[in-house]
Amino acid sequence: MADPLRLGIAGLGTVGAGVVKIVRRKAKLIEARAGRPVTISAVSARTRDKDRGVSLSGYDWEDDPVALARRDDVDLLVELMGGSDGPAKAATEAALEAGKDVVTANKAMLALHGPDLARAAESRGRVLRFEAAVAGAIPVVKALTEGLAGNEIDRVLGVMNGTCNYILTRMESAGLSYETVFDEANQLGFLEADPTLDVGGIDAGHKLALLAAIAYGVRVPFDEVELEGIERVSIDDIRRARDLGFRIKLLGVARMTGRGLEARMSPCLVRADTPLGQLEGPTNMCVLEGDESGQIVLRGAGAGEGPTASAVMSDVIDIARGTRVSTFGVPADQLGTVSMARSATPAPYYLRMELMDKPGALARIATVLGEAGISIDRMRQYGHEADTAPVLIVTHRCARDALDRALAAMPETGVLATEPVALRIETV
């Protein structure tokens, strides 16, 4: 019988405990599929005596995750602590320096340091795998690095944060305000300790940066990824979008353009009859478009103990089988540098604004749009509210730069009662 693959698990939160449960409960299944036993030698976490719903008996304990990473009886470090730097990064570096493979679910660390960590792994003949860092149980990393390896990738897009999708779909189905559903999501435990990571698009932006790096073979500077959260999406926007046959999603999009890599995470309108438009609740969906494969749609649970632990184990079992794949699909020293292009691809836009109830107010807005080279596809004016009139405009395809010029000029018309809301309409 082949020697066991011995794990050291750093981090015993929801996902770490889930991995321990799978290894304990499914030992025979894992051995049959991996071709060798997978065992746990030692674990590490901040608190030793916490009830995690699974026995840790039989495993050595290390208070220091770096010491765990360096143990002689650990072949593979499973890093599940989180955080872009600090103990997670130190333990990962220590494991690689000691000649061990690493599996991680740490999207923040990889979005900021992934190429350097990948180079450290590959220079020692080791692998760094991260299926669990993107979209939970959905095997999107493997789809890009393996299943679609023979394709030029035209576009990567998707809903990559289940909390935001829950908030937006709950607002629509229950007719509730953003603030009310935000509090509800917080009480249900859906939000990160720092909610801005979720609703501000940062968590999903990390995932998009990783997928873009694989899809286009480049180092993605995370600080240049466009990020816009869902905080400004109102129930009025959701209702107006629905009237037009759309739904609002926090959507990540990456594509290579003639001006460079376009990578943005922002609220967008998508047609209600598309797979993305029909996505409900705390679920993720990734859409991959290859020149040979066409469109591939992957849907599934994007977070939680079972789904994320499942993704961790997929990497562990691959390593146990002897599968060696470059972290980003190509050797780290071959990752290219890239210029970032802000919203380079033209698109139609949804505009909502409150205009003062003055003669010619709408004509002045139309003039500003026209002067920026933007034509109007559809326009609706809803019932007056006191001294203002809600107006909805859908533009034809235009460049974001042109729209920004128009938005900057609108206050000079003297007819705006509120700041306009502008949302991109993404074709899927």
CATH of the domain at 24: 3.40.50.720
Backbone angles phi, psi at 289, to 5 degrees: -120, 110
Backbone angles phi, psi at 264, to 5 degrees: -145, 145
Q: Which two tokens stand for residue 218?
A: 């480049």
pLDDT score, position 191: 79
pLDDT score, position 75: 98
Residue 14 marked in a binding site: yes
Q: From its phi and psi, is residue 155 left (phi > 0), alpha (psi between -120 and 50) or beta?
A: beta
Residue 51 contacts by C-beta under 8 Å, 6 or more apart in sequence? none
**Beta partners for residue 264, in sequence order:** 226, 253
Is 162 part of a structural domain of the chain?
yes
Q: Do 29 and 174 sit in the same domain of this protein?
A: no
Residue 277 marked in a binding site: no
Q: Do 164 and 242 sit in the same domain of this protein?
A: yes
Q: Do 179 and 276 sit in the same domain of this protein?
A: yes
Answer with the one of 334, 358, 393 that is the final residue of a domain.
Answer: 334
- CA torsion sign, 392 to 394 to 398 to 400? positive
Q: What is the pLDDT along the chain (428 residues), one digit of tens a residue?
A: 689 999 999 999 999 999 999 999 999 999 999 999 999 999 999 999 899 999 998 999 999 999 999 999 999 999 999 999 999 999 999 999 999 999 999 999 999 999 999 999 999 999 999 999 999 899 999 999 999 999 999 999 999 999 999 999 999 999 999 999 999 988 887 878 788 889 999 999 999 999 999 999 999 999 999 999 999 999 999 999 999 999 999 999 999 999 999 999 999 999 999 999 999 999 999 999 999 999 999 999 988 899 999 999 999 999 999 999 999 999 999 999 999 998 778 999 999 999 998 888 999 999 999 999 999 999 988 776 678 888 999 999 999 999 999 999 999 999 999 899 999 999 98
Determine the residue type at 187.
Answer: Q
Q: Do 100 and 211 sit in the same domain of this protein?
A: no
Residue 414 marked in a binding site: no
Q: Do 152 and 242 sit in the same domain of this protein?
A: yes
Is 307 part of a structural domain of the chain?
no
Measured CA to CA, the distance from residue 11 to residue 80 in angstroms comes to 5
Is 388 part of a structural domain of the chain?
yes
Residue 10 marked in a binding site: yes
Between the CA atoms of 221, 168, 423 and 211, what dihedral angle is there, to the nearest 10 degrees?
30
Is 245 part of a structural domain of the chain?
yes
Measured CA to CA, the distance from residue 401 to residue 417 in angstroms comes to 23
Instruction: Say how many C-beta atoms besides its own lie within 10 A of residue 409's C-beta.
Output: 15
Is 121 part of a structural domain of the chain?
no
Q: Do 11 and 89 sit in the same domain of this protein?
A: yes
CA angle, 45 as apex, 222 and 282 as ends, to 5°? 50
Is 172 part of a structural domain of the chain?
yes
The CATH number given to whatever domain includes residue 255 is 3.30.360.10
pLDDT score, position 385: 67
pLDDT score, position 389: 85
Measured CA to CA, the distance from residue 285 to residue 287 in angstroms comes to 7
**Residue that has been written with the tokens 């007819």 in this structure:** 415
- Residue 76 and residue 42 in contact, taking contact as beta carbons nearer than 8 Å: no
- Residue 69 and residue 95 in contact, taking contact as beta carbons nearer than 8 Å: yes
- CA torsion sign, 120 to 126 to 127 to 128? negative
Is 114 part of a structural domain of the chain?
no
- Summarize pLDDT for 339-359 with one digit per residue, the tens: 999 877 899 999 999 999 888
Measured CA to CA, the distance from residue 288 to residue 329 in angstroms comes to 15
Determine the residue type at 85.
Answer: D
Q: Do 267 and 408 sit in the same domain of this protein?
A: no
Measured CA to CA, the distance from residue 383 to residue 373 in angstroms comes to 29
Which structural domain range is residue 355 located in? 349-425
Return the exposure string of 307-330: e unless at least 16 CB atoms fall within 10 Å of the residue's CB, then b.
Answer: bbbbbbbbbbbbbbeeeebbbbbb
Catalytic positions are 207
pLDDT score, position 194: 84
pLDDT score, position 398: 96
Residue 358 marked in a binding site: no
Q: Identify which of 317, 358, 333, 294 has the alpha carbon closest to the alpha carbon of residue 26.
A: 317
Q: Do 96 and 23 sit in the same domain of this protein?
A: yes
The CATH number given to whatever domain includes residue 374 is 3.30.70.260
Is 123 part of a structural domain of the chain?
no
pLDDT score, position 1: 64
Domain count, the chain: 3
Q: Do 155 and 60 sit in the same domain of this protein?
A: no
Answer with the one of 334, 357, 391 that is the final residue of a domain.
Answer: 334
Determine the residue type at 193.
Answer: A
Q: Identify which of 126, 133, 288 has the alpha carbon closest to the alpha carbon of residue 210.
A: 133
Q: Do 150 and 271 sit in the same domain of this protein?
A: yes
Answer with the one of 77, 104, 131 that is the final residue of a domain.
Answer: 104
Q: Do 270 and 149 sit in the same domain of this protein?
A: yes
Q: Do 72 and 151 sit in the same domain of this protein?
A: no
Residue 11 marked in a binding site: yes
